[in-house]
Amino acid sequence: MSAYDYSRKEFAAVFAELQKTYQIYGPKRFAGRGRFSDTDLIRYAPLASLDELELAEKSSLSPKSLVFPADETIFHFNDHEFSQPQLKENGEIIVLLRPCDINGIARLDKMFLENGDQADPYYQRRRQRLHFFMIECRESFENCFCVSMKSNTTDNYEVALRFAGDRVAAQVKDHRYAGLFGQKGRAGSFSPEFVSGNDKQVELPTVETMPAEMFNHKMWEEYDSRCIACGRCNTSCVTCSCFSTVDLFYADSRQCGERRRVWDGCHLDGFSDMAGGHSFRKNKGERMRFKTFHKIYDFRKRFGFDMCVGCGRCDDVCPEYISFSSCINKLSRTLKGGSDK
């Protein structure tokens, strides 16, 4: 392990040097592309240079699209055979992301690679070309509750970076980068710090088994009318991994087409619809319960840690001001016999 100090200009040269071998992704600002006019959209995208790296604001969409795109073709078919599509670009990718998102992708790894005896090949081939460069995160954004979810720290990165004004510090854990990082900078002693407290704290339920009455508890009813099923909490979430499959036929063919998987989410209408018109969770409150239990209860029972990483994006993007972190606290209070308000 080694550490280096740079001026921003020097580090921009390191960045440019890395781009000769890797495509570099990070949070990027798209001016005027926000939901409201004259607002910006921040999402993960290839960075043309260091200047495009957005550090001032949280991205509204997570980096999960790098391993789990919103729409992915899983096979092409005709009347007698099918074939798996190649990745258009299969180069190595460096992604600059914060500890919560690194932990978020670790949760996706559980779902796609270790859940059952078959690793998901589509996820795997994208995942194995990723290299994590951690953006040191010492201060929370609005709605973050990573500390409560224990996802504020990680050692799952090859390089850690501190951006402080005109200075950049790097901790290089992976030897493959040592030469390149050593060339432009001076030896330093940087070791990343992690955010140690958020304004928003959540108290997680401590029950081993969720009491049956919680499944039909009236605390979920308020979400029947509050939630509008827009699905933003699902699409913005780094750990939401649900998808639907759809088939499409090429315009002038009745035999050739492709099957795709596209993001779906438990809050969206139609998610739990089945043949015959059955639907498991018609009410929005039931969907909120399902999501909450999945994020902070039943995932833990299966994998030993909670699914939610406390990035707070669901709270950031909800147009109806539904706070997931507040919902978790409400659940914990209710379980302890307190108020469900």
DSSP 251-312: TT-SS-EEEEEEE--TTSTTTTB-GGG-BS--SHHHHHHHHHHIIIIIHHHHHSS-S-----
Q: Which two tokens stand for residue 89?
A: 């670009």
Count of H-run helices and E-run strands, the chain: 10, 12
| CB 88 to other proteins: min, Å | 11
Q: Is residue 300 involved in binding other proteins (CB under 8 A)?
A: no
**Of positions 3, 24, 29, 60, contacts other proteins by CB under 8 A:** 60
Using alpha carbons, select from 107, 153, 139 the residue that is nearest to residue 296.
Answer: 107
Distance CA(14)–CA(309), nearest Å, equals 31
Residue with smaller CB distance to other proteins, 71 or 193? 71
SS3 assignment, position 79: coil
Q: Is residue 56 involved in binding other proteins (CB under 8 A)?
A: no
**Of positions 20, 38, 118, 209, contacts other proteins by CB under 8 A:** 38
Place of tokens 């890797």: 22
Q: Which segment (68-76, 291-299, 308-316, 330-338) binds other proteins by CB under 8 A?
A: 68-76
Residue with smaller CB distance to other proteins, 193 or 269? 269
| CB 319 to other proteins: min, Å | 8
Q: Which segment (30-38, 96-104, 153-161, 281-289) binds other proteins by CB under 8 A?
A: 30-38
**Of positions 230, 281, 300, 340, contacts other proteins by CB under 8 A:** 230
Residue with smaller CB distance to other proteins, 55 or 70? 70
User: Which residues, at least 6 apart from 84, have a Cβ–Cβ distance to it below 8 Å?
Assistant: 74, 75, 121
CA 159 to chain centre: 19
Q: Is residue 31 involved in binding other proteins (CB under 8 A)?
A: yes
CA neighbours within 13 Å on the CB side: how many for 27?
17
Q: Which segment (5-13, 29-37, 112-120, 306-314) binds other proteins by CB under 8 A?
A: 29-37
SS3 assignment, position 100: helix
| CB 230 to other proteins: min, Å | 5
Distance CA(102)–CA(90), nearest Å, equals 21
**Of positions 33, 176, 186, 336, contacts other proteins by CB under 8 A:** 33
Q: Is residue 87 involved in binding other proteins (CB under 8 A)?
A: no
Q: Which segment (63-71, 91-99, 167-175, 300-308) binds other proteins by CB under 8 A?
A: 63-71
Count of residues near other proteins by CB under 8 A: 30
**Of positions 1, 16, 55, 70, contacts other proteins by CB under 8 A:** 70
CA distances from 74 to 257, 259, 305, 313 (A): 11, 6, 30, 28
Site for other proteins in 186-205 (CB under 8 A): none
Site for other proteins in 241-270 (CB under 8 A): 246, 248, 260, 262-264, 268-269
Residue with smaller CB distance to other proteins, 212 or 251? 251
| CB 105 to other proteins: min, Å | 19
Which residue blocks in the chain are alpha helix, DSSP H? Answer: 8-18, 99-113, 121-127, 178-184, 222-226, 232-236, 284-293, 299-303, 313-317, 324-335
327 with 292: CB under 8 angstroms? Answer: yes
**Of positions 20, 37, 165, 179, contacts other proteins by CB under 8 A:** 37
Which residues are 133's β-sheet partners? 96, 159
List of residues contacting other proteins (CB under 8 A):
30-38, 41, 43, 60-61, 69-71, 230-232, 234-236, 246, 248, 260, 262-264, 268-269
